[in-house]
Amino acid sequence: MSLNKYMHPRNRYKSAKPSFLQLALKYPDFRAITTQDESGKVFLDFKNADALRALTRCLLKEDFDLTVELPMDRLVPTLPLRLNYIHWLEDIVGTDGKKWGIDIGTGASCIYPLLASKMNQWNFLATETDAENFYHAEKNVANNNLSHLVHVKSSADESILTSPLQSFMDTEVFDFCMCNPPFFADHMEAQGLVTTRSDDRPEAGSVSTASPQECIVAGGEVAFVRQMIEESSVLREKIRVYTSMLGKKSSLAQLKEELRHQKVAKFSSTEFCQGKTMRWGLAWTFDSSVTFPRSEFEGRKAKPPLLYVIPKGSSSVEYKVHELARHLRQILESIKVHCYQGKQAKSFTSITLTAAENTWCNQRRLRRQQKWKNSRSATESQQQDNKCREERKDESSQTDNDTHQIFNKDTSGRLPKDNKENSDMAMATEKEKPSLADESSESHITKMSQKRSLDDTSDTENGNAKRLCTEISERGNGFKDHSENSSSQRDKTKGNESSTLNGINSSEVKHYTVYAITKTPERSETDDFEAKLENGQKVSEDPNISKESKSVPNEDEAHLSGIMENVSEVVPSTSFEVPSQPKEYILKCVMRLKRSEDNINLELEWLDGKSRELMHQVFTFLKNKLAQI
Ligand SMILES: C[S@@+](CC[C@H](N)C(=O)[O-])C[C@H]1O[C@@H](n2cnc3c(N)ncnc32)[C@H](O)[C@@H]1O
């Protein structure tokens, strides 16, 4: 299939194929390497280097009025591809005013500077390491009277951009740099003995004319462009836009990773389509005012968003666009996916999702692990309870003895002041007039003693489930003191956790408290107070504080945990953070919720990231969550 329809719209060869017949009639050199059939049609053998050389020279002359020498053993540039690259650059830097560019590895033809200076009067610094190429490049520039615009510079291997720029004084800053790097890593790759070309792709239609020193570099194009990226992070805005062509699509992902790592302001890629070949363009900048054009080819592939009709019948979330959006947002933020609220209307909302890491896979496994941890700690606390109960039994028999002593001592029947509990006990004793050996009295006192027990199993078993809010950092004992200790504890936790977040500024991280929802007996304030004592915790004398320690979270806070599914279960609880928008991300997509007649649709549309597969995973994750509500 010809890719010509995806050529740059301004590429002159997109709609007007060169006429071999016209060229053969006009240029004897070209005529010499062509064949003609009986009908008069002219043919060219694209596997013949001489034929390619003759074609390029003719077209340069015919269409650009350039006279170019192309030495026998050097790369013959194909023009449609070179024009695609130049037009893409024009789209990025514009064609108005004077422009300065750098062509890294200009080759013997000096093709990019010759074409671009001829077309746009752009100024060029053209570098070249190969002596023969350097010689021919200088000659080609001079032969076309372009020396006032194009400066060819012999360059050393060790630095791609830094040293050529050091001694070049004609301009302070450059609008762009461009490069067609040596693409192969070794001779095996150059000879096609190892290839990334898939089996179902047709063989290349033309022969490679490049010499080894032109097309081979240690590490291949990825290593070469990676070095450019590293040097660019030092030179930064000395060059406004850095670009390179790439021969393999697989190189793009690796280099984009490097660009993320170097924290460039922006980067973009494009496809150069011509004939049966495709190449890729990568551009990056440290100047955030630069805008990159959208690739025509990518636009062709624009896929419709993923769509899911949210089922009705949920009891915990209202079937309303904004309620569902809020619910999904809370779930996503709980797994560290950044949510940016975009457009909103009555029946529509859009949120941009940015994820620095894959946190949506293995959620089931993580939940299982957490459940297992919880059940283990439940067993431990059960053992602890049993122990306490044993001790309390001893205590109550001790209390019993004490009560006996009260009866024995206080024969006047006066109650000890400021001791409600003793008062109750005494009143009970008064009312029931138990004998010192009365069993019912003993069991009553034991019951009261048990009522104070924090985790009385009979109370738990009565199924009187109630939410207990517990800040996770203090989860061990089940109660929290909202005094200063608590916030400093939170700050400590914040410090530890923030530093582990990938690419997220810790100072910008908002903290949320997750509440455990657990089955627990009803308790009085006194119970809480005493429970703290039993747990050896400092008890605040401010009654408001102890009240606050029991406050139930509102629905919002509970939702934030994303753990509303099993209210009556002991559920895993974790502390999570809502991160600021990560600069480095693996996925960026738009989530939309739209009302359509009676239904509400969830849409996910791809923006950018490592692969679309990640968006599909998030989509499935959200669908599962919606199915649970
Ligand atoms: C694939 S060729 C491209 C030639 C030309 N730009 C074109 O597009 O036809 C790569 C060129 O880069 C040159 N080269 C390799 N390493 C270089 C470096 N570090 N600095 C400048 N040129 C280099 C090679 O000698 C070769 O001429």
pLDDT digits (tens, 9 = 90+) for 186-224: 777 766 655 555 444 445 566 677 788 888 888 999 999
- The reply to whether ligand 1 has any atom less than 6 angstroms from the CB of 258 is no
The token pair at 233 is 């992070």
Q: What is the mean pLDDT of residues 574-593?
A: 74
Return the pLDDT at 60: 98
Residue of higher predicted confidence among 385 and 161: 161
- The reply to whether ligand 1 has any atom less than 6 angstroms from the CB of 334 is no
- Predicted confidence (pLDDT) at residue 239 exceeds the cutoff of 50: yes
Residue of higher predicted confidence among 158 and 228: 228
Residue of higher predicted confidence among 151 and 389: 151
Residue with tokens 């005494």: 426
How many Cα atoms occupy the beta-carbon half-sphere of 382 within 13 Å? 8
The token pair at 15 is 């709609």
Q: Is 52 left (phi over 0), alpha (psi -120 to 50) or beta?
A: alpha
Residue range 352-399, pLDDT digits in tens = 999 999 999 876 777 777 778 788 777 777 777 777 677 666 655 554
- The reply to whether ligand 1 has any atom less than 6 angstroms from the CB of 111 is yes
Is 313 annotated in a binding site? The answer is no
Is residue 117 helix, strand or coil?
helix
Is 128 annotated in a binding site? The answer is yes
> Do the Cβ atoms of 340 and 332 come closer than 8 Å?
no
Is residue 288 helix, strand or coil?
coil
Return the pLDDT at 218: 86
How many Cα atoms occupy the beta-carbon half-sphere of 396 within 13 Å? 19
Residue range 24-46, pLDDT digits in tens = 999 999 999 999 999 999 999 98
Best residue for ligand 1 mutational test, from 84, 85, 106, 177 (most atoms within 8 Å of Cβ): 106
Q: Ligand 1 centroid vs 66 CA: distance in angstroms?
A: 21
Question: What percentage of the chain reaches a pLDDT higher than 90?
Answer: 48
Integer Cα distance of 344 and 472 in angstroms:
34
CATH architecture of the region 306-356+579-628: 2-Layer Sandwich (3.30)
Best residue for ligand 1 mutational test, from 124, 130, 163, 226 (most atoms within 8 Å of Cβ): 130
Tally of CB atoms within 10 A around 316: 14
pLDDT band at 301 (very low <50, low <70, confident <90, very high): low
- Predicted confidence (pLDDT) at residue 158 exceeds the cutoff of 70: yes
Tally of CB atoms within 10 A around 511: 14
Q: Ligand 1 centroid vs 105 CA: distance in angstroms?
A: 3
Return the pLDDT at 438: 36
Where in the chain are all domains bearing CATH 3.30.310? 306-356+579-628
Q: Ligand 1 centroid vs 185 CA: distance in angstroms?
A: 14
Is residue 240 helix, strand or coil?
strand
Is 105 annotated in a binding site? The answer is yes
Residue of higher predicted confidence among 361 and 410: 361
- The reply to whether ligand 1 has any atom less than 6 angstroms from the CB of 158 is no
- Predicted confidence (pLDDT) at residue 450 exceeds the cutoff of 80: no
Per residue in 586-617, is it b (16+ CB within 10 Å) or e — as a string?
bbbbbbbbbbeeeebebbbbbeebeeeebbee
Question: Atom 9, ligand 1: which residue's CA is nearest?
Answer: 77
Q: Ligand 1 centroid vs 220 CA: distance in angstroms?
A: 12
pLDDT band at 507 (very low <50, low <70, confident <90, very high): very low
Question: Atom 11, ligand 1: which residue's CA is nearest?
Answer: 105
- Where does 465-579 show beta strands of DSSP type E? 510-511, 577-578
- Where does 465-586 show beta strands of DSSP type E? 510-511, 577-578
Question: Atom 2, ligand 1: which residue's CA is nearest?
Answer: 214
- Predicted confidence (pLDDT) at residue 297 exceeds the cutoff of 60: yes
Element (H, E) at 605: strand 599-609
User: Which range, of 62-76, 202-216, 421-435, averages the lowest pLDDT?
Assistant: 421-435
pTM > 0.80: no
- Predicted confidence (pLDDT) at residue 128 exceeds the cutoff of 90: yes
Q: What is the DSSP letter of 169?
A: -
Task: State yes or no: ipTM above 0.85.
Answer: yes
Q: Ligand 1 centroid vs 582 CA: distance in angstroms?
A: 36
- The reply to whether ligand 1 has any atom less than 6 angstroms from the CB of 331 is no
Q: Ligand 1 centroid vs 132 CA: distance in angstroms?
A: 12
CA dihedral sign of residues 467, 468, 472, 477: negative
> Do the Cβ atoms of 30 and 59 come closer than 8 Å?
no
> Which fold would CATH assign to domain 4-14+77-301?
Rossmann fold (3.40.50)
Which range of 15-24, 60-69, 342-351, 441-450 scores highest in mean pLDDT? It is: 60-69
- The reply to whether ligand 1 has any atom less than 6 angstroms from the CB of 546 is no
Q: Is 110 left (phi over 0), alpha (psi -120 to 50) or beta?
A: left
Tally of CB atoms within 10 A around 562: 19
Where in the chain are all domains bearing CATH 3.40.50.150? 4-14+77-301
> Do the Cβ atoms of 107 and 184 come closer than 8 Å?
no
